[in-house]
Amino acid sequence: MSKAGALDLASGLGGKIDKTEVLSAVEKYEKYHVCYGGEEEARKSNYTDMVNKYYDLVTSFYEYGWGESFHFAPRWKGESLRESIKRHEHFLALQLGLKPGQKVLDVGCGIGGPLRRIARFSLASITGLNNNEYQITRGKELNRTVGVDKTCNFVKYGCYKEIYRVLKPGQYFAAYEWCMTYAFDPNNQEHQKIKAEIEIGDGLPDIRLTGKCLEALKQAGFEVIWENDLAVDSPQPWYLPLDTSRISFSSFRLTAVGRFFTKNMVKALEFVGLAPPGSQRVQDFLEKAAEGLVEGGKREIFTPMYFFLARKPLSESQ
């Protein structure tokens, strides 16, 4: 997990955005979303601007509270969050059959936590694909710190069709997607509220149903080897780290007390000028996201672990 502290959080807030412009960036980002009267079409048509603002604003919070790997994982009883994330990243490497010297693409790599762990586990050379300049800069810095900068790198990227284009025939693509499940009812106002909270707090223009994700893969040309919502069979609820009713010493920053402490720390840092104006607003919509994620998980209408293993066919006829 990341060792980022209060000063790291303060210095990283806003990412590549000028510190004097963070508050206006927060306001513009909020206006894209349903909670503030925004429309889905506006989010999609301004996708790059919306997503880049989001990751510039929240990355230091993610690293401070969650660590370097920005994802959930199925979790065994008695297993810590950190252990479950590490095991899950090793599971992904094994599913792909990674071997020393192989070249791998990590799509949507964040600041490269999984990339670094999988590179050290498999000895593969991994390129992280990302569309946010601040996360790329931060990822390169962390690569140098742990000594994988010779075999791991970052570049900007596209999506499924672009991934299909760059893969050689017979090569594999494995991923986790955040999706609404078929328990989601678009006519249920409470379900729509939960979906909107997750969208604003996680920089998403929309959240597709699992079936739509599968359909997009096939339309791009992939052969789907297997797919499953790994949240369904997880011995421990995936949203447990965000549930404020629980107590955890290993993930203290994510507990109700830890989040209360962080909230007041950010308020103090902003007051004395170490954190830019607007920092508290960022934490507010992240708190909203956490509430939406927990409710979405409890109602089983949302999953952050829709897994698939797909392959580019050996020939066009396949």
The tens digit of pLDDT for each residue in 130-161 reads 888 899 999 999 999 999 999 999 987 657 88
Mean pLDDT, rounded, for 277-306: 93
Number of residues that make up the chain: 318
Query: Model confidence at 285, in pLDDT bands (50, 70, 90)?
Result: confident
Residue whose token pair is 């660590």:
67
pLDDT at 193 over 70: yes
pLDDT at 305 over 90: yes
pLDDT at 315 over 50: yes
| Residue 316 confidence (pLDDT) | 64
pLDDT greater at residue 195 or residue 315: 195
| Residue 1 confidence (pLDDT) | 42
Among the listed ranges 34-48, 203-217, 303-317, which one has the minimum average pLDDT value? 34-48
Q: Is residue 317 part of a domain?
A: no
Q: Is residue 1 part of a domain?
A: no
| Residue 192 confidence (pLDDT) | 96
pLDDT at 73 over 80: yes
Query: Model confidence at 39, in pLDDT bands (50, 70, 90)?
Result: confident
| Residue 290 confidence (pLDDT) | 92
pLDDT at 252 over 60: yes
| Residue 158 confidence (pLDDT) | 59
| Residue 127 confidence (pLDDT) | 93
| Residue 102 confidence (pLDDT) | 94
Residue-range definition of the domain harbouring residue 162: 6-312
Domain holding 149: CATH number? 3.40.50.150
Q: How many domains does the chain have?
A: 1
pLDDT greater at residue 100 or residue 7: 100
Instruction: Give Cα separations from 189 to 125, 128, 194 (angstroms).
Output: 46, 38, 9
pLDDT at 311 over 90: yes
pLDDT at 211 over 70: yes
Query: Model confidence at 4, in pLDDT bands (50, 70, 90)?
Result: low
| Residue 31 confidence (pLDDT) | 87
Q: For 164-212, what is the HEC assignment?
A: HHHCCCCCEEEEEEEEECCCCCCCCHHHHHHHHHHHHHHCCCCCCEHHH
The fraction of the chain above a pLDDT of 90, given in percent, is: 52
- Write the DSSP string, the chain: -----HHHHHHHTTTTS-GGGHHHHHHHHHHTSGGGT--HHHHHHTHHHHHHHHHHHHHHHHHHHT-S------B-TT--HHHHHHHHHHHHHHHHT--TT-EEEEET-TTSHHHHHHHHHH--EEEEE-S-HHHHHHHHHHHHHHT-TTTEEEE----HHHHHHHSPTT-EEEEEEEEE-TT--TT-HHHHHHHHHHHHHHT-S---BHHHHHHHHHHHTPEEEEEEETTTT-SB-TTGGG-TTS--STTGGGSHHHHHHHHHHHHHHHHTTSS-TTHHHHHHHHHHHHHHHHHHHHTT-EEEEEEEEEE--SSTT-
- Residues 6 or more apart whose CB falls under 8 angstroms from that of 127 comprise 103, 104, 105, 106, 152, 153, 154, 155
Query: Model confidence at 318, in pLDDT bands (50, 70, 90)?
Result: low
pLDDT greater at residue 147 or residue 7: 147
Q: Is residue 290 part of a domain?
A: yes
| Residue 317 confidence (pLDDT) | 58
Query: Model confidence at 173, in pLDDT bands (50, 70, 90)?
Result: very high
The whole-chain average pLDDT of the chain stands at 89
Q: Is residue 244 part of a domain?
A: yes
Q: Is residue 165 part of a domain?
A: yes
| Residue 135 confidence (pLDDT) | 93
The three-point CA angle 12-282-289 to 5° equals 120
Which of 187, 181, 237, 171 lies closest to 213, judged by CA?
Answer: 181
Mean pLDDT, rounded, for 33-47: 81
Q: Is residue 318 part of a domain?
A: no
pLDDT at 32 over 80: yes
Name the amino acid, one letter, at 177.
Answer: E
